[in-house]
Structure 1
Amino acid sequence: MAPSLPPLSLYVHIPWCVRKCPYCDFNSHKAGPEVPEQAYVHALLRDMQDETARSHGRPLSSIFFGGGTPSLFSAQAIGDILQGAERHFGFAANIEITLEANPGTAEQGRFHGYRAAGVNRLSIGVQSFNAQHLHHLGRIHSGREAIDAVAMARAAGFDNFNLDLMHGLPGQTPEDASADLTQALDLAPNHLSWYQLTIEPNTEFFRRPPVLPIEDTLADIQDVGSALLSENGLHQYEISAYAKTNQQAAHNLNYWRFGDYIGIGAGAHGKLSHWHGNQLQIHRQWKTRLPEHYLKRTDNIATQRFEAGSEVIEAQDLPLEFMMNALRLNDGVEQSLFQQRTGLALDTIAAPLKHLREQGLITPDRLQPTALGSRYLNRLLPAFEAV
């Protein structure tokens, strides 16, 4: 193992959903009558095998099954993928293994199976408990089903789970948003992703935009909600993530700390580092996007890889890439991490750091935004462009 390389995570993309939500810009596709589970697991294992050399002997510190809706896959399929991951890479002690699940696909027996297969954390896509807002979002579950899904997760042995909740929804008032948060808090999650609905290109909402709350209402929702979360022991550690003490998502923290991650599955992205002589080189890779094309790669595995493209992150782009991630964290990172993760001396960003610290936007001894810096992050980051 190369001790100077970052920790390594694995992202597994399951691209099918029961129905495509109108706000979703992820690589997800409506499932047909049957999902090609066995063929896709076979492709994932071959994809994983291709990536083994890039691990440079590092065990996986976390695994995240995202989508799409990973809970459409059986526990057997998830277990087969995890066995392959352990065989190819090995697992670090106390590895975090998260699987996204939607309440509309929740089954208690399936949750028990996921837990037995090695999944130790669930991320449940609630989005709202309000029937009208769920309808506007195109969700297939009810608020009652979301509550039941959490009960099923607990019964299956999951004591570590995240709830995904959105705010700034069409027609939502601060009282509506507070009611959603209050219900979520009653379920006692140790982690909550609470984020504002944004309209993204290539979505149904982009083509037919809904009427969203005005800026003053959005500000009121944010203020009231943040206070409510803090009062209930869920503290903000990242722009849209709140957690109980020592319950932050390890997989997400690896992203924000500019760690490495392998991405397998249709459209999955990865970021990997290696030493080329005395220079640290960092690459991004992405896999072929359409599930049917991804599956066909297994037919010609000797001549075709699952990778659709890759690029080297040039040295002049690394400061911005690093800071875009690190400054999302309320506590930022130690200054020494900049050189460890980019291979560049801290002096590379000395000028913009000095300027931003004089403006009170970054703290003196860490790469950490001040409260003011967090409010104006999009204005702060351009200082690190091509430094």
Structure 2
Amino acid sequence: MTAVLAGSTLQLPPLALYVHIPWCVRKCPYCDFNSHAASPELPEDAYVSALLSDLDQDLPYVQGRQLASIFFGGGTPSLFSAVALGRLLEGVAARIPFAQGIEITLEANPGTFEQAKFVAYRKLGINRLSIGVQSFEAAKLKRLGRIHSGDEALRAAEMARRAGFDNFNLDLMHGLPEQTLEQALDDLRQAIALAPTHLSWYQLTLEPNTVFWNQPPPLPEDDTLWDIQEAGQALLNEHGFIQYEVSAYARAGHQARHNLNYWSFGDFIGIGAGAHGKLTHPDGTVRRTWKTRLPKDYLNLAKPFKAGDKVLPAEELPFEFLMNALRLTEGVEAALFPARTGLPLASLGAARRQAEQKGLLEVEPARLVATPQGQLFLNDLLQYFLN
């Protein structure tokens, strides 16, 4: 939908839905996501009811659009049964029409317990899996607190394919504790051999409020990290995986549409404990929203689902837009900036010229795209657009 809102150059962008399932079997020491150790019995039915009630409150912001994509993230969404996810998808479809060819992604652990559900998930219309492998090496998996084995990770891709998933991502980390260049490349070679259509390959970072932040493991030296990055990118390119975002690599035609919507400043409704959203409101304002974080509070229907809401003021929109768009290796068409923000392209003015002069932004009037140097030093590039 490309309707222009009254009195503005702002256009309604594509609409996506993010669904947060906040439970995991065990919290990993590097994880800063809103995830919580699961009890033996998950409150699936109550949580699905809460999700649909949460969605009902955001329906005014759909504004006649169809859903282009749905993403189940977590936590570990594959802990939920197909029955529960089927009820949720039916409820969503009854409220918002699905676009033809909608992409529906589910994050899944590679454990045998999750693999057994893959066929049922595919029958629901879920057509893309994102499998959290992280590593194939037993010692590294143990250090990361993962509960699956390397063999289970290898089997998961085959199980996904047998279940009818011809589009799946493998999530893989590098720069793991005491990891060598050869160990990192061996992980990557094993992932490539499983023939995924997409690879999320990114460096382990120590985030606040995690076990690793408080008890840092010995990570590789900077020179080793740089060697891993360079050699890994060359290996991925050699095997037909094209880098299209900072940590995303895909075979031709298999870029993650849901994530592309994030990075091109599209709209997304976020439902679930701690879920975030970004929505263009009928009055033309662009807002970020976030939902109550703790599952027990989210399930308490006497409390509001929404924990916060912030209008993005005009002076912050350039940074917010470019923080996402410049992650893409090919950037975006310059015309997308006024379409998504309602601001004239000229408002980037002096900051854009300074970034170009510093060699961080390409001198391309029709596109907004970081140079290779700008991609490496993205935070430095974005500083030009802070007010």
| Pair 1:187 & 2:194 matched | yes
C-alpha contact (below 8 Å) 1:44/1:265 kept by paired residues: yes
Hey, what does 1:199 align to over in structure 2? 206
Hey, what does 1:286 align to over in structure 2? 290
Q: 2:101 aligns with which of 69, 94, 101?
A: 94
Hey, what does 1:70 align to over in structure 2? 77
* Shift in alpha-carbon separation, 1:105–1:60, aligned structure 2, 3 A: farther
Distance 1:359 1:45 in 2: 49
1:221-256 CA deviation, whole Å, 9 max, x = no partner?
A: 101111000000001100000000111000000000
TM superposition score normalised by structure 1: 0.96
Hey, what does 1:19 align to over in structure 2? 26
| Pair 1:140 & 2:139 matched | no
Hey, what does 1:332 align to over in structure 2? 331
- DSSP-derived class of the 1:258 partner: coil
- Determine what percentage of the aligned residue pairs are the same residue: 62
Distance 1:127 1:237 in 2: 20
TM superposition shift of 1:323: 0.5
Distance 2:213 2:116 in 1: 38
Single out whichever of 329-338 and 98-107 deviates more from structure 2: 98-107
Give runs of aligned pairs for residues 1-387 of structure 1, distance below 5 A.
3=3, 4-104=11-111, 106-276=113-283, 280-297=284-301, 300=302, 304-365=303-364, 366-386=367-387
C-alpha contact (below 8 Å) 2:122/2:163 kept by paired residues: yes
Single out whichever of 345-354 and 118-127 deviates more from structure 2: 345-354
TM superposition shift of 1:105: 5.3
Hey, what does 2:8 align to over in structure 1? none
RMSD over aligned CA atoms reads 1.1
TM superposition shift of 1:350: 1.3
Distance 2:305 2:72 in 1: 18
C-alpha contact (below 8 Å) 1:284/1:312 kept by paired residues: yes
TM superposition shift of 1:109: 3.8
Single out whichever of 226-235 and 107-116 deviates more from structure 2: 107-116
TM superposition score normalised by structure 2: 0.96
Distance 2:379 2:89 in 1: 38
Distance 2:241 2:134 in 1: 17
TM superposition shift of 1:108: 4.2
Equivalent position amino acid for 1:163 in 2: L
1:74-98 CA deviation, whole Å, 9 max, x = no partner?
A: 0111111111111111111111000
C-alpha contact (below 8 Å) 1:13/1:265 kept by paired residues: yes
1:354-373 CA deviation, whole Å, 9 max, x = no partner?
A: 12222222122210011121
C-alpha contact (below 8 Å) 1:107/1:152 kept by paired residues: no
TM superposition shift of 1:45: 1.1
C-alpha contact (below 8 Å) 1:2/1:57 kept by paired residues: no
Equivalent position amino acid for 2:305 in 1: F
* Shift in alpha-carbon separation, 1:377–1:344, aligned structure 2, 3 A: same
Q: For structure 2, which runs of at least 5 residues remain unmatched after alignment?
A: 4-10
- DSSP-derived class of the 1:237 partner: strand
Q: For structure 1, which runs of at least 5 residues remain unmatched after alignment?
A: none
Single out whichever of 181-190 and 355-364 deviates more from structure 2: 355-364
TM superposition shift of 1:10: 0.3
* Shift in alpha-carbon separation, 1:106–1:247, aligned structure 2, 3 A: farther
Distance 1:118 1:77 in 2: 14
Distance 2:130 2:107 in 1: 5
C-alpha contact (below 8 Å) 1:65/1:100 kept by paired residues: yes
Distance 1:131 1:170 in 2: 13
Distance 1:306 1:6 in 2: 24
